[in-house]
Amino acid sequence: MGDTPITDGIVVEVTAGVLRIIIDRPARKGSLDPAAVGRIIETLAAASTDDSLRVVLLTSTGDDFCSGADWVATNAAGTKPRTGSIQRRTPLQAHRLIALLTEIQLPVVCAVRGWAAGLGCQIALAADFTIAADGSRFWLPFTKRGFTPDSGATWLVPRLIGIARAKQMLLLGRPVEAVDAAAWGMIHECVPDERLDAAVEDLVAELGAAATVAIGLTKRCIHTGLDSGLVDAMADEAMALELSSRTGDFREGLQAFTERRDARFEGR
């Protein structure tokens, strides 16, 4: 993948195996209209088969990471959609985005400042590692607006923080401070605002130097295991082990162990 210009408020950059997807919509508090969601989906779909990539980083400009779906832009035309529009479109838009974040066999890092609300919250929770600045907030305000959650909220949140806390977020619509989100295991880490960029880059560098195939297969086993029994999970592990043991990184890992040095993985 090569760098592409800004399109619909989404900037895509590729540097040294790191795919950076930047939400550049500060005037809309990082909210995403269908075109922006579609752009991210296209980028992730292409990345899933790009062997040059090692890590995906999701970040944003402005004071807020993402305040959710841009309902103002979505309804700007003033034409009422026909019945069933949400049911038809959502699986191909927001739901597809969340699914891709969990399915792609690359580690996904998310950097959050300010609000991560609605779809923005779900993007952060679907990432493999979310690092948030202190003062950030995670919010699922659906019921406060009179409708029900989407984007995998009712699946992801209880699995991350348990049913009782999930009901605080999903039924009562209470925001969660970044420090609590980290303490609950909802995100990877909460750091002081001035350390956010450095913490994110350190993690991206660590993942970028890791055994990419093994990382991706392990991620797949984790997610498929959430909906399977032990026997099926171990069958998936056996298949992943078969594949990962055929990689150059596996051979390098064994050689490094024998030579008592750090492995130099190439993601192959």
Quick: pLDDT tens for 6-43: 458 999 999 999 999 999 999 999 999 999 999 999 99
Q: Please state which architecture CATH assigns to domain 212-258.
A: Orthogonal Bundle (1.10)
pLDDT at 241: 94
Burial of residue 108 (CB within 10 Å: 0-12, 13-18, 19+) is buried
Q: 106: number of CA atoms within 13 Å, CB side? A: 29
Confidence of residue 5 (pLDDT cuts 50, 70, 90): very low
Out of 3.90.226.10, 3.90.920.20, 3.10.129.10, 3.40.640.10, which CATH number does the structure's domain 4-208 have?
3.90.226.10
pLDDT at 82: 79
pLDDT at 178: 98
Report the pLDDT averaged over residues 172-182. Answer: 97
How far apart, in whole angstroms, are the C-alpha atoms of residue 65 and residue 222?
26
The continuous run of DSSP H or E covering 156 comes out as helix 153-161
What is the pTM (predicted TM-score) of this model? 0.91
Q: Residue 126 to residues 187, 245, 255, 259: CA-CA distances in angstroms?
A: 10, 28, 35, 38
For the chain, domain boundaries: 4-208, 212-258
Mean pLDDT of the chain: 92
- The vertex-106 CA angle with 105 and 108, nearest 5°, equals 125
Burial of residue 67 (CB within 10 Å: 0-12, 13-18, 19+) is buried
Quick: pLDDT tens for 110-120: 999 999 999 99
Reported residue count of the chain is 268
Report the pLDDT averaged over residues 177-194. Answer: 98
Q: Residue 45 to residues 42, 103, 184, 191, 239: CA-CA distances in angstroms?
A: 5, 10, 31, 31, 23
Residue 176 pLDDT > 70, yes or no? Answer: yes
Confidence of residue 71 (pLDDT cuts 50, 70, 90): low
Which tokens sit at 39? 């752009």
Report the pLDDT averaged over residues 160-184. Answer: 97
pLDDT at 11: 96
Q: Which amino acid is at 234?
A: M
82 Cβ contact list (under 8 Å, min separation 6): none
pLDDT at 93: 83
Quick: pLDDT tens for 207-241: 999 999 999 999 999 999 999 999 999 999 999 99
